[in-house]
Amino acid sequence: MSDIWQETNKFFVERGFARKIGFGKRPAVIVIDIIGAFTNPDLPLGTNLEQVINETKKVLNVSRQADIPIFFSTLSYDDKDLKDAGVWALKQGGLVTLRSGTPEAEVEPRLERRLSEPLIVKKYASVFFGTDLFTRLNTLGIDTLILTGCTTSGCVRATAVDGLQYGFRVIVAEEAVGDRADMAHKQSLFDLNAKYADVVSVTEVLHFLSSLKIPINEEKKV
């Protein structure tokens, strides 16, 4: 952390920000928008997300072993004129690449999404907005959200803020989220950690997930 970030962080901590929320007892992993339109650097919305993909795979591997719920999200639009994107289409021309049924709207194949892992289709930034994600999480008794994906300053941030507002403990896996601009990425991580979530290393996330001896689905049957 640079001197200016350290100084800013010290100021925030002294004012009572950046306290730890901590992990709860029933986590779910939310893989946000790791789809073709974002993983291909040649596309308008794309960037190099190799690290994000690799680190997310680590989280997924451990989560699957522990039978922890995993949700994926994608952005996709059906209307020819992007009316289902609302005024957001006026702000971001790249949304035109997110057509339903195209490779650009599909989850990155290297993540090996399983049919048992729901795909939340959304139209805007937050995975909660206009979807049934909250109901799904509430039905499972989830209290902790572990976020990976992209972009840190956009859909990850929006989902984290909504997650907190819905009463979840939000954990952002630092190396498993990414952005097109390093400045936006770092600022968003700083701000999220100060106000809305715990930003922790993937190593810490893996340690927590590995510590869950009883799979959630099995525990609920007892």
Give the residue numbers annotated as catalytic, written as ranges.
Answer: 155
CB atoms within 10 A of CB 109: 10
Q: What share of the chain is helix, strand, coil (3-state, %, to 5)?
A: 45, 20, 35
152 Cβ contact partners less than 8 Å away, ≥ 6 residues apart: 177, 178, 179, 184, 185, 188, 189
Q: How many angstroms separate the CA atoms of 137 and 133, rounded?
A: 6
State the DSSP code for 146: E
Residue 64, burial from CB neighbour count under 10 angstroms (0-12, 13-18, 19+): middle
Helix (H) or strand (E) holding 9: helix 3-14
